[in-house]
Amino acid sequence: MQTKYNDNILYFDDYNLLDVALINKTPFYLYSQNKIVENFKDYETAFSENNHLICYSVKANSNLKILSILAKLGSGFDIVSGGELHRVLEVGGDPSKIVFSGVGKTEDEIRLAISNDILCFNVESLEELKTINSLAIEMKKTANISIRVNPSIDIKTHPYIATGMKDNKFGVDEKEIVSFYEEAGLCEGLKITGIDFHIGSQITEISPYKEALEKVCKIIKKLSDKNIKIGHIDIGGGLGILYNDEKLPSKVDFVDSITNIIKPFGLKILIEPGRSIVGNAGLLISKVLYTKTTPTKNFAIVDAGMNDLIRPPLYNAYHNIKEVFKSGLKPLVYDVVGPVCESSDFLGKERLLCLSSGDFIAVENVGAYGYVLASNYNTRLKPAEFIIIDKKILLIREAETINQVLENEKTCL
């Protein structure tokens, strides 16, 4: 993460966080354009020797400004809904660089994607394949498709974010995949262009990718024996990031290991990174409302809750928490908790911090799967988002207002 102290004040991308916290209503998310660009370019450099396309996974952080930064860098996009497609189109993203993933694409979403001539549908079931085919025929178009393999491998990540295991709802079983392609070959509305897989998120080792790739390469050989030709392989999401004390390979080592396996096939490589593009480029800034000591614990009660950042309770995820200003107070071990009426409402447990009411904290590495998972639970309003660009702070989403939240419910009062 890019934060560091100078004179006891925390800086992010060289920006004084105390300044920004004092003048804006907390909680809010704050991103760094520099970090996003650097993360994207690291992948570009690592892949530069290969025919490739980076399709940023919109679900990780779908703020329009962030999508626009990535679109300007030439990024493609991995989407999972019509809503995400609208977002990418809104910022001028190139539809011919969009892949559409997900097990439950609706007919409306499929039509929208076909009419925009997206790069590829990553198909997850036979019924979906047939639906895309008939809609394409009806629209007098051809839809490009790839079929998602479920490589059935064991992955060391939180079970909720592993997607390539046998029991997961994702992809098509290795044994069935060739017949799926044969079926696709018979569909007039479809053009087979690729093969894809996604094994899970926050993966910090290269070996599961290798294991999955070896299986997928065997499938590609079988397809080629049946004269079914594909032009690209999509390896799904990117590397995990450093939240705590993980050991992480470099992007170059990760990409080299993958490209070495794929090279002999002469295919274009697609990757759909989300977390590793925006994860370490975001902070959540929050204010300590109260401190409280019980017989067993010290609590710092802050104004951000699980509705703003659900990763700690949902995945037991660790996010580093720092004081925005380090006072001379004696540090205490705190559970940092929010105002939501649930015991699962915590941002971090047992953290050694110097805090008193009115102080600010920065929760690190929340650029991915942070704001996008925010909710209105307890009728709490979703926070604002800012970004640092050229040492200036830009508001990229207004904080929600109570009227916006209530408006859609005033249907029959």
Q: Which residues are catalytic?
A: 341
Please give the DSSP secondary-structure letter assigned to residue 381.
Answer: P
Stretch that binds ligand LLP, among 4-12, 183-191, 196-204, 344-352 (CB under 6 A): 196-204
The nearer residue to ligand LLP, 275 or 351, going by C-beta atoms, is 275
- Token code pair at residue 3: 């934060």
347-354 long-range Cβ contacts below 8 angstroms, 24+ apart: 347/284, 347/286, 347/302, 347/304, 347/309, 347/312, 347/319, 347/321, 348/312, 348/318, 348/319, 348/320, 348/321, 351/321, 353/300, 353/321, 353/323, 354/323, 354/326, 354/327, 354/328, 354/329, 354/330
Three-state SS for 406? helix
Interface with ligand LLP, residue 237, by CB under 6 A: yes
SS3 assignment, position 94: coil
Instruction: Name residues contacting ligand LLP, limited to 354-373 (CB under 6 A).
Output: 368-369
CB of 370 vs ligand LLP, minimal distance in Å: 8
Stretch that binds ligand LLP, among 20-28, 40-48, 195-203, 404-412 (CB under 6 A): 195-203
Q: Contact between 274 and ligand LLP (CB under 6 A)?
A: yes
Of residues 33, 39, 81, 101, which one binds ligand LLP by CB under 6 A?
Answer: 101
Instruction: Select from 83-91, 177-185, 268-276, 389-397 the region that touches ligand LLP (CB under 6 A).
Output: 268-276
Find the length of the chain: 413
Among 21, 54, 119, 161, binds ligand LLP (CB under 6 A): 161
Q: Does 202 bind ligand LLP (CB under 6 A)?
A: yes
Sorted by sequence, the CB contacts under 8 Å of residue 171 that are 6+ apart come out as 124, 148, 149, 150, 151, 163, 164, 197, 198
Identify residues 53-72 at the interface with ligand LLP (CB under 6 A). Answer: 57, 60
Which residue in 194, 273, 312, 367 binds ligand LLP (CB under 6 A)?
273
CA-based nearest residue to 373, from 268, 267, 274: 274
* Of residues 73 and 137, the one with the C-beta less far from ligand LLP: 73
Residue of minimal CB distance from ligand LLP?
A: 237
Count, residues near ligand LLP per rule CB under 6 A:
21
* β-pairing verdict for 346-353 and 332-337: antiparallel
Contacts with ligand LLP by CB under 6 A lie at 57, 60, 78, 101, 161, 163, 198, 201-202, 236-238, 272-276, 311, 315, 368-369
